[in-house]
Structure 1
Amino acid sequence: MRIHSENSFLPTLEARHASFTQVEKNIADFFMKNTEKMDFSTKNIARLLFVSEASLSRFAKKCGFRGYREFIYQYEKSLQDSERMGETVKAEEVLLNYRELIEKTYSLLDERQVSKIVKLLYRMPRVLVCGNGSSGLAAREMESRFMRIGVDIDSVFEPDKMRMRSVFLTKDTLVIGFSISGETQPVLYLLEQAHQRGAKTVLLTSKDDRRFDSYCDEVLLLSSLKYLSSGNLISPQFPLLLMMDIIYNEYVSANRYEKEALHDDTLRALSSKEERRTQVW
């Protein structure tokens, strides 16, 4: 749908269309339908529309301009305004999709289940979080954030390494798998092997499949991008990051003073490392 800015004169062309001659109507139709920047010189447009340059001049004056040059100046400005309006609409569409995901997350959220997962994070000596592709990026983010508040956590995001790590899992480990599709075989394999070795297992996925219950202690459902009007515009790890924030917030809230102190200590440690590096250089 074409969007006109408030100062656009295109609605004027539409309003006056009935009073134009056939030649003028052809010219008006061209400018109303065109959405691309090009060479708008009288010579080029006359050639494209099979009209004379004098016809373009008369048309511009009939539209209320002093001449074709003034007409084109306002027309190009209108095109720029339309592009900016189009960008705003596209941005709004993305933001609406994010809001929809947040609302879906809220409707799916089981706070008791989140509390169970937080208790596992406190209870288990070691945590391993895994994911592939964009889910792997979310796994690395979880490792980074929870490590800073004292959790003994590691992440793995390469399929071969997931299979290798499954051999060394014990009952002292909590394995958290990220798979939005619920079909990432290396992640599901690691969770199955972890369950067989007595480890606690949690899966974050948008797929509600009872088969996961056979080897997952908790299956935390995520909002899906699949049915959004522009789901391909949304970062695929967003539902995971959103749920991670919810878990993180509850984990920290259980002992906020201690966790915030640990977080500050890790930031100071990183800062002192950068200072030493600067001094060396």
Structure 2
Amino acid sequence: MMEVQTASKSRLGGLINSYYPSLTKSEQKVASVVLEQMEKVLYYSVTDLADVAEVGETTVLRFCRKIGLKGYQEFKLAIAKDLSSINHEKEHNKSEENKPASLVASIANNTKNAIDETMNKLNQETLDGIIELLLKAKSIQFFGVGTSGLTALDAKNRFLRFGFRSDAVIDPHLQSMTAATLGQEDVVIGLSVSGSTKDTIDSLKIAKENGAKIIAITYYARSPITKLADLVMLSGGKESPLEGGSLAAKIAQLFVIDLLCTGLAVKQKEYSLSMKEKTARAVIEKIY
């Protein structure tokens, strides 16, 4: 069993080593991958880790419980905390000189990289398929919670301005009730960076059972949300549990929304232009 330097310095690495002899062979395969690739595992979905370790997802979840953690997200949080402590020690030893400039450059680069990563993941055929599906939709619903909920609200605003009947539902209970009322002519766009947001996925299941078409916007190509989706758009800007709500991930989501909205507007240029004018006039009196 290999143990990289980062893992050996971490509390979680020591914990895994202490439990290693009592794990099953399949669970030991998961443990070895974590110890060897801890920094990569931080950004793996449960499906990704299962694939790399060549085990089932249930084995990964069982491994997490065996080492005293409630589930996969708590496991990733433990990794994030450990790596954050290690990186903090490294940064503490660096010179304070040029820190403000490096901070600005780092944030700017992360944001740019998220857009570039989204472009590299883009599948034009999938994008065209989603646009065609949205054009035929009776209604377009955006489901998301937390930061993805804020993106859903922004998406609703964008789509309404172009005259597309849409709504954003960010409360899990309302999501479930809304999902139950949908049918074959409706489309639900589920937003989740992790692809594992339980509330959103539960609501999407209900929508799918009632015949609605499901579109997923997520970072992870292999995650629970993509298994439900009819079509998937991948966004850049990965985030760890300690980076929830990161600007880069949100901008990547908004970039995808802009692609969809602009694509729809191009397909119905005259209608979209007239609706943009109508919606603008509807709020013109509300601006000094």
TM range (shorter): 0.5 to 0.7
| Displacement of 1:124 | 0.7
Question: Is the 1:131–1:179 Cα contact (8 Å) retained in structure 2?
Answer: yes
Q: Structure 2 residue aligned with 1:238, among 228, 251, 261?
A: 251
Equivalent position of 1:146 in the other structure: 159
Counterpart residue number, 1:42: none
Q: Tell me which amino acid in the other structure corresponds to 1:132.
A: V
Which residue type is aligned with residue 250 of structure 1? G
User: Are the counterparts in 2 of residues 225 and 231 from structure 1 also a CA contact under 8 Å?
Assistant: no
Q: Note the C-alpha offset of 1:89.
A: 2.2
For the pair 1:187 / 2:200, whether they are aligned, the reply is yes
- Report how many residues are paired: 192
CA-to-aligned-CA distance 1:41-76 (integer Å, 9 cap, x gap) = xxxxxxxxxxxxxxxxxxxxxxxxxxxxxxxxxxxx
Give unpaired runs (5+ residues) of structure 2: 1-94
Amino acid at match of 2:268: N
CA shift for structure 1 position 83? 8.6
Amino acid at match of 1:193: I
User: Residue deviations 1:114-159, cap 9 Å, x none?
Assistant: 1111111110111111100000000000001101111110110011
- The aligned counterpart of 1:217 is 230
Aligned partner of 2:140: which letter?
V
Residue 281 (structure 2) aligned to one of 264, 268, 272? 268
- Residues 261 and 179 of structure 1: CA distance in aligned 2, closer, same or farther (over 3 Å): same
Q: What SS does the corresponding residue of 1:237 show, helix, strand or coil?
A: helix
Q: Which has the higher contact order (CA 8 A, sep 6+)?
A: 2
Contact 1:173 1:199 (C-alpha < 8 Å) held by counterparts: yes
Shift of 1:214: 4.7
Q: 2:168 aligns to what SS in structure 1?
A: strand
What code does the residue aligned with 1:125 have? K
Instruction: Show the 5 A alignment for 1:36-51.
Output: none
Quick check: 141-150 or 208-217, which moved more?
A: 208-217
RMSD across aligned positions (CA): 2.5
> Which is higher, the Rg of structure 1 or of structure 2?
1
Q: Distance in 1 between matches of 2:180 and 2:164?
A: 22
- Residues of 2 paired with 1:167 and 1:247: CA distance? 25
- Of the structure 1 ranges 178-187 and 162-171, higher mean CA displacement relative to structure 2 is found in 162-171
Amino acid at match of 1:237: K
Aligned partner of 1:9 in structure 2 is none
Deviations 1:95-121 (A, max 9, x none): 111121111111100111111111111
Q: CA deviation at 1:258?
A: 2.5
Secondary structure of 2:283's aligned partner: helix
Q: Distance in 1 between matches of 2:151 and 2:245?
A: 18
User: How much has 1:161 moved relative to structure 2?
Assistant: 1.2
Which secondary structure does the structure 1 equivalent of 2:187 belong to?
strand
The letter for the 2-side match of 1:137 is L
Q: Which residue, out of 182, 187, 191, partners 1:169? A: 182
What do residues 160-188 of structure 1 show as CA deviations (whole Å, max 9, x unaligned)?
11122222111121111001111111211
Q: Indicate the residue corresponding to 1:124 in structure 2.
A: 137
Is the contact made by 1:134 and 1:236 (CA closer than 8 Å) also made in structure 2? no
Report what 1:113 is aligned to. 126
Q: Is the 8 A contact 1:97 1:231 kept in 2?
A: no
Question: Secondary structure of the equivalent of 1:242?
Answer: helix
Which residue of 97, 104, 112 maps to 2:117? Answer: 104
Distance 2:244 2:224 in 1: 27
Shift of residue 213, structure 1, vs aligned partner: 5.3
Match for 1:265: what amino acid? K
Determine whether 1:90 maps to 2:94.
Answer: no
Q: For structure 1, which segment, 255-264 or 191-200, has the greater mean C-alpha deviation from structure 2 after superposition? A: 255-264
What residue identity is the alignment partner of 2:177?
A: M
Aligned equivalents of 1:169 and 1:97: distance in 2?
38
1:178-214, Cα deviation, whole Å (9 max, x unpaired): 0111111121112111111111110111122275455
Q: Structure 1: 5+ residue runs without aligned partners? A: 1-81
In the TM superposition, what whole-angstrom CA distance separates every residue of 1:79-105 from its partner, at most 9, and x where no partner exists?
Answer: xxx999532221111111112111111
